[in-house]
Amino acid sequence: MKIVVIGGTGLIGSKLVSQLLEQGHDAVAAAPKTGVNAITGEGLAEVLKGASVLVDVSTSRGVGPVRLLPA
């Protein structure tokens, strides 16, 4: 099962990705370091192709209103 982890290179996300990989899942760390920006949407469409699950453990950097991206 492909599982995308937004914030997957951070403190919590990296541990989650490691555990998912150990359990045999196709876990993908999605973060600016891997070319995915959850705020602007850059790289999201590509990383989500074929994913069954999306987990968000990212830290919000903004203080204003949140703009949701279309599905």
In the chain, the percentage of residues whose pLDDT exceeds 70 is 85
Does residue 67 lie in a domain region?
no
Is 29 a member of any domain?
Answer: yes
Decide if 65 is inside a domain.
no
Whether residue 11 lies inside any domain: the answer is yes
Looking at the predicted structure, is the pLDDT value of residue 45 above 80? yes
- Both tokens of 7, joined, read 């914030």
What is the rounded average pLDDT of the residues 23-47? 96
The verdict on residue 61 lying in a domain is no
**pTM of the predicted model, to two decimals?**
0.82
pLDDT at position 68, please? 66
Structural domains of the chain, count: 1
Nearest by Cα to 13 from 29, 37, 1, 35 = 29
pLDDT, tens only, 54-63: 999 998 666 6
Residue 70: per-residue pLDDT: 72
> Does residue 40 lie in a domain region?
yes
Task: Say if CB 5 and CB 57 are below 8 A apart.
Answer: yes
Domain that holds residue 51: 2-56
